[in-house]
Amino acid sequence: MLSHFNFTAILAAPYGEQLLKGLQLTAWLTISSWTLAFVLGTVLATVRVSGNPIAERFVAGYVAYHQNVPMLVHILLWYFGIPTLLPEAAQNWANANGGEMIFASIAIGLCMAAYFYFLVPLLLGHSVTGFTTLLCTLVIYEAAYISEVIRAGIEALPRGQTEAARALGLSHAQTMTKVILPQALYNMIPSIVSQFVSTIKETSLGYVISVQELTFSANQVNTNLLTRPFEVFLILALTYFAVCFCLTQLAHAMERRVTRRRSGKTSGKTAPARSIQNDSVLQSQ
């Protein structure tokens, strides 16, 4: 039965090169969007624990919205559904003035900054690429999840550390950047890596807006070959599995390491005692 399958034809040029380019774009999308989402998520997490009730509720609403509505649903609702509710004259105007991109931009998390970022270029007559649309979508969507990961790390630390830092005269920003965040981020490294894996899989949504990432490239190969859908999509599935499985195992290894460090052990040995005055290692008696 296996003799009927021909994986070589798919991996050879030009189809193999097309899949490789799709994989490269997927990697670039994942790294760039996750990096920006990490920065935004860190800001949201610090605002969430700032003690300002208005800011905390705003961030909580932002996070709840994105956690409970799939990203693809945003795209479908704002791209296809909302325009049908407009008056006929407004629909005609939208269709004549790049309305598709306007509604696609609103789908990017309902973030006003992203909305104006897309709307202003449209009014100036410039188009927006699918890559940019997907990048901003991933950033705003993933930031909600990363913020919750970081917030959990912050709240897991003893409250006395924050109180001691504030008692020493540090501001809230200084307390976060110099005392709390370094510890919280280290403790949450496994969860952050897991979120990175999730971002890799979500880049496949670029298929619906024709971003030439890995899934879109695989579908193009299948369209050209027509007779090899099983081989094409099996290679696609195995590629995602190999990348995500390796990163998941890395997250598990990091989790074990963090657990050992938090329990005061490294490589099965008890961590040496250190002097409070100069942080030098004390000699055993």
Every domain of the chain and the residues it spans? 9-266
User: What is the rounded distance in angstroms from the CA atom of residue 140 to the CA atom of residue 70?
Assistant: 13
Please, how many CA atoms are within 13 Å of residue 112, restricted to the half-sphere of its CB?
Answer: 0
**Residue ranges of the chain with pLDDT lower than 70?**
1-7, 9, 11-12, 74-129, 264-285
The predicted structure's pLDDT at residue 108:
44
Q: pTM above 0.85?
A: no
Fold for 9-266, please state it.
MetI-like fold (1.10.3720)
Q: Residue 136 in contact with residue 58, Cβ under 8 Å?
A: no
pLDDT in tens, 22-45: 899 999 989 998 999 999 999 999
Q: SS3 letters for 75-103?
A: HHHHHHHHHHHCCHHHHHHHHHCCHHHHH
The predicted structure's pLDDT at residue 109:
42
